[in-house]
Amino acid sequence: MADKKEKPQDDVKELTEKLLVTRKNGCTQVSDKTLETADKYCEGYKAFLNAAKTEREVVSFAVTEAEKAGFVPFEHGKKYAAGEKVYWNNRGKAVILAVIGEKGCRDGVRIAAAHIDSPRLDLKPHPLYEKDGVSLFKTHYYGGIKKYQWTTIPLAMHGRVVLKNGRRVDICVGEREGDPQFTVTDLLPHLAEEQMKKTLAKGVEGENLNIFVGSRPVRADKGDNLVKLAVMKILNEKYGMTEEDFVSADIEFVPAFRAADVGFDRSMVGAYGNDDRVCAYPALTAALHAKKPTNTIVTVLADREEIGSYGNTGLESEFLRYFIADLAQAEDMKARHVLSRSKCLSADVTAALDPTYEDAYETTNACYVNSGVGVCKYTGARGKSGTSEATAEYVSEVRSLFEKNGVLWQIGEMGRVDLGGGGTVALYIAGLNVDVIDIGVPVLSMHSPFELVSKLDVYMTYKGILSFYEAE
């Protein structure tokens, strides 16, 4: 009987590297020089976060930086040459930047879309009142928040008031050294037995997110609402306001703390507003740094995403389509033909796996800090409700582009399927018949007053958008 020939053993390590996806901390996959570059890039990002905590402030920042880089206001009907740079400011709350490509719009445009609004506390139309010797502002929270997180933290007041005479007054109180700050009070634990029996969702009610603004009354022997009057007197002396002027004001209260390095290794940026300014800043800087794009590139920084993108400064509206229609018309093309050939990166954050709450994630399909820009083939909730889904062909194209340009990337979902989910602007851009995919920075503590992001992931998002813009 002949001996059986032994089958050669497969090289498991070689096969694993060739055939399987293996997760490694991205910091071990890049050079020290790349990490240093990421850290340096995020110094600019932190300065941006500190300077621009509201959508109006982001637009102002973007326009200033764009003009420094040679961008000029867009003129409807004008034909632009390759390399020219333009911007269009939509009501001071959204902005589009474009660099005309060598081919113009002929093969479509390349779009990166991010949003610049974040969860916050807005003032009601009649916010100021007095009770039990103190004066407070009534608020209406904006976006999805855990309400208890917004109590007992320092808050700053940002916004614009348009006075009865039409004069515009910009307000920022609580950010500079020596400024007064504000807060929402909470019940002391000694008296909170009933409150602490409630669920987290009910422990702090929306109507109780009232901001403490003063306690010293006007000196008078008689009169009502003397503390309220004293507060209004300060606002009148400083800004020319009367109480009625709150009706025509966009006033937001946001966390007063500044962006900071987090961790002994300073690997993370902690700040208010990382969602979605952590994608807006890379999209903006990529537009400023892009050199001689083949196709016209369009960066759109939009408002209102946190409440569904509704309104004339959100991407559910037509303003992006109108802008691209104007570009197309200047080149004797139809907007629908340009849009149908266009490609988009919907630049929005995704959830980073949090080891403290790992049960909320499906770990094989989660995004991790320090693993690069997160790619989401689809977003939405539960049964893919309210989502756009990228085609296999477009995912392959983006994946190949990132690999070719040394962009560290990963792909994942928001969390476990039946827990909920979230949406982005992708479905509105897909509705224009544009190929679109979600990419962005994974975030810890998303929608909290102090969110965390990896510096390496921020830099890789910038590098990914820049490679998209400069692709032939």
- What is the DSSP pairing of strand 409-411 with strand 373-376? parallel
What is the distance, to the nearest Å, from the Cα of residue 388 to the centroid of all Cα atoms in its chain? 19
Among residues 14, 31, 35, the alpha carbon closest in space to that of 456 is found at 35
- Check residue 4 and give its pLDDT: 57
- Classify residue 302 as left (phi > 0), alpha (psi -120 to 50) or beta: beta
- Check residue 16 and give its pLDDT: 86
Q: Mapping DSSP to helix (H, G, I), strand (E, B) and coil, where does residue 146 land?
A: coil
pTM reported for the whole predicted model? 0.96
Q: Residue-wise over 107-125: b if at least 16 C-beta within 10 A, else e?
A: ebbbbbbbbbbbbbbbbee
CA–CA distance, 240 with 366 (Å, rounded to integer) = 51
Q: Tokens representing 22?
A: 């293996």
CA–CA distance, 368 with 460 (Å, rounded to integer) = 13
- Check residue 210 and give its pLDDT: 98
C-alpha torsion angle, residues 87, 92, 93, 98 (rounded to 10): 0
Residues of the chain with pLDDT under 50: none
- Check residue 420 and give its pLDDT: 80
- Check residue 6 and give its pLDDT: 60
The answer to whether the beta carbons of residues 320 and 98 sit under 8 Å apart is no
- What is the DSSP pairing of strand 297-302 with strand 343-347? unpaired
Q: Which helix (H) or strand (E) holds 300?
A: strand 297-302
Q: Mapping DSSP to helix (H, G, I), strand (E, B) and coil, where does residue 271 land?
A: strand
